[in-house]
């Protein structure tokens, strides 16, 4: 049976105050039970490393990136790592009880893709980070991405780590990723926690971000959010006054703060291709730049159905498919059907050349949650009528805010209430 390849790249157009001890709740539901590496088989089965991955016990991140545990125990001699999800979200580890890390726990660039060319590995970020440039000397992604004149990535984000971001890529390696650990009880780190940027001959990725939030924090071990050329990320420890015991070491030096109860930023609009022609698009789509994401039978009749799933985008918003190579087809616009939390659209694509690679993108425009930012005195030149969100597997979503004529409004000229919404959605 002859087959043709589809690269399904998804593009959606679219001061802390003091609190007393034992008042903070992580919000964990406990649905994932107790996480105890002392009782887990990390050599075979679902927690074992895949071929080419670093050793340790690997936890698959759910689509939200949020893990809800009762307690967490990482004993000495064990290592906990995290497999990225489709949206490459940061790791948010919530616990109802105590978190104890006597072993190793972290996120890092370069451990997520197996390729003949080692730069494919180096360019991959840790969860929540930005990819490095590929091929050689291409610009790194992210707000502090490396360039030809400044090859190393820089960490750029809010010092509050709300929302948390994982560091920008260099011209050859990815950013370190990001992790939040929040406990209603205590967090004890006698081992090592890290969010380390990638390194390659072309340009280093920046260090990532580590945030600990609990009613008590005891740090006698090591936290590292470093890049390989001094391009460090950020470490933040939050607990009630007098509830942080810091006798260990952090690189860079940590920010010590009372608790900001905001752990997870507002839910962002998302759009993704679920399947093409009835064949599921793999979670790894977009991670390899030298391979097709999906290979389909040439005998598939027109139209080839593309199933799209959305969340936090108003139902009725029209979705279209466009094409990133000369292998063009035609497709009608189809409105999203369902609820704000979850909606879908099935778009029929006709006319693709079955003997060529095709790159498919999905696009949607939607109205902002508060037209004009709720401000009556916004100049006409800055009135936002539509939001465009660009999202691709393995990359952070990018937002644009459009006037009635389709021109973009710079983020710094948005009304205050919309700027707050932008900040919660981690727009860069």
Domain contains 74:
yes
Specify whether 216 is located in the same domain as 271.
no
Specify whether 193 is located in the same domain as 247.
yes
> Between β-strands 3-8 and 294-297, what pairing exists: parallel, antiparallel or unpaired?
antiparallel
Q: How far apart are CA 47 and CA 56, in angstroms?
A: 8
Specify whether 156 is located in the same domain as 283.
no
Domain count, the chain: 2
| Dihedral sign, Cα of residue 381, residue 385, residue 391, residue 396 | positive
Count of CA atoms in the C-beta half-sphere (13 A) of 286: 23
Q: How far apart are CA 179 and CA 196, in angstroms?
A: 11
Long-range contacts of 154-159 (CB under 8 A, 24+ apart): 154/206, 154/231, 155/206, 155/207, 155/208, 155/209, 155/225, 155/227, 155/231, 155/232, 155/233, 155/234, 156/428, 157/209, 157/234, 158/423, 159/234, 159/236, 159/255
Average pLDDT estimate for 204-211: 95
Specify whether 247 is located in the same domain as 273.
no
Average pLDDT estimate for 367-378: 55
Higher pLDDT, 240 or 313: 240
Percent of the chain with pLDDT over 70: 81
pLDDT of residue 7: 61
Specify whether 275 is located in the same domain as 228.
no
Q: Is 163 helix (H, G, I), strand (E, B) or coil?
A: coil
Query: Residue 307: is its pLDDT beyond 80?
Result: yes
Specify whether 168 is located in the same domain as 271.
no
Domain contains 21:
no
- From 235, 257, 279, the end of a domain falls on 257
Specify whether 387 is located in the same domain as 279.
yes
Specify whether 208 is located in the same domain as 108.
yes
> Between β-strands 66-69 and 57-60, what pairing exists: parallel, antiparallel or unpaired?
unpaired
Domain contains 22:
no
Specify whether 160 is located in the same domain as 223.
yes
pLDDT of residue 404: 82
Q: Which residue is it, tokens 């990532």?
A: 208
Specify whether 277 is located in the same domain as 227.
no
Q: What is the largest CA-CA distance in the chain?
A: 68
- From 257, 275, 307, the end of a domain falls on 257
Using pLDDT thresholds of 50, 70 and 90, give the confidence band for residue 389: confident
Specify whether 335 is located in the same domain as 247.
no
Residues contacting 145, CB < 8 A, separation 6+: 130, 133, 139, 153, 168, 169, 170
pLDDT of residue 77: 96
pLDDT tens digit sequence for 145-168: 899 888 999 998 888 898 888 999
Domain contains 392:
yes
Query: Residue 119: is its pLDDT beyond 50?
Result: no
CA nearest to 319, candidates 310, 328, 352, 220: 310
Average pLDDT estimate for 252-269: 85
- From 257, 277, 299, the end of a domain falls on 257
Lowest mean pLDDT among 253-267, 276-290, 389-403: 389-403
Residues contacting 60, CB < 8 A, separation 6+: 46, 82, 83, 85
Peptide bond into 135 cis (omega under 30): yes
Domain contains 27:
no
Q: What pairs with residue 108 in β-bridges?
A: 196
Range of the structural domain that residue 75 is part of = 35-257
Specify whether 250 is located in the same domain as 368.
no
Domain contains 251:
yes
Higher pLDDT, 143 or 196: 196
């Amino acid at each position: 049976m002859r087959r043709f390849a589809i690269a399904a790249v998804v593009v959606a157009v679219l001061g802390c105050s003091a609190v007393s001890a034992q008042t903070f709740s992580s919000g964990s539901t406990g649905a994932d039970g107790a996480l105890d590496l002392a009782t887990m088989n990390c050599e075979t089965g679902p927690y074992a490393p895949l071929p080419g991955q670093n050793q340790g016990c690997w936890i698959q991140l759910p689509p939200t990136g949020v893990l809800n545990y009762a307690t967490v125990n990482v004993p000495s001699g064990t290592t906990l790592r995290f497999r990225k999800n489709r949206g490459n979200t940061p790791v948010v580890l919530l616990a109802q009880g105590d978190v104890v890390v006597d072993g190793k726990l972290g996120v890092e660039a370069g451990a997520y893709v197996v390729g003949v060319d080692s730069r494919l590995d180096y360019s991959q970020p840790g969860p929540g980070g930005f990819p490095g440039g590929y091929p050689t000397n291409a610009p790194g992604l992210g707000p502090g991405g490396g360039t030809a004149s400044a090859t190393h990535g820089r960490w750029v984000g809010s010092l509050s780590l709300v929302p948390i971001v994982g560091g920008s890529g260099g011209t050859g390696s990815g950013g370190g990723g990001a992790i939040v650990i929040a406990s209603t009880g205590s967090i004890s780190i006698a081992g090592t926690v890290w969010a380390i940027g990638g390194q390659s001959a072309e340009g280093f990725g920046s260090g990532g971000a580590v945030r600990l939030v609990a009613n008590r924090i005891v740090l006698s071990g090591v936290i590292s959010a470093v890049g390989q050329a001094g391009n460090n990320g950020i470490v933040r420890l939050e607990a009630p006054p007098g509830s942080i015991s810091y006798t260990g070491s952090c690189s860079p030096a940590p920010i010590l703060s009372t608790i900001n109860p905001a752990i997870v930023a507002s839910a962002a609009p998302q759009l993704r291709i679920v399947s093409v022609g009835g064949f599921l698009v793999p979670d790894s789509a977009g991670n390899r730049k030298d391979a097709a994401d999906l290979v389909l039978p040439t005998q598939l009749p027109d139209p080839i159905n593309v199933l799209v799933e959305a969340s936090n985008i108003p139902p009725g918003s029209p979705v279209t498919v466009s094409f990133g190579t000369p292998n063009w087809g035609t497709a009608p616009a189809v409105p999203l059907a369902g609820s704000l939390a979850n909606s879908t659209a099935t778009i029929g694509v006709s006319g693709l050349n079955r003997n060529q690679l095709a790159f498919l993108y999905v696009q949607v425009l939607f109205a902002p949650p508060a037209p004009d930012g709720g401000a009556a005195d916004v100049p006409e030149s800055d009135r936002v009528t539509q939001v465009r969100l660009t999202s691709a597997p393995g990359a952070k979503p990018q937002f644009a805010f459009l006037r009635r004529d389709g021109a973009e409004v710079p983020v710094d000229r948005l009304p205050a209430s919309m700027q707050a919404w932008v900040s919660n959605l981690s727009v860069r």
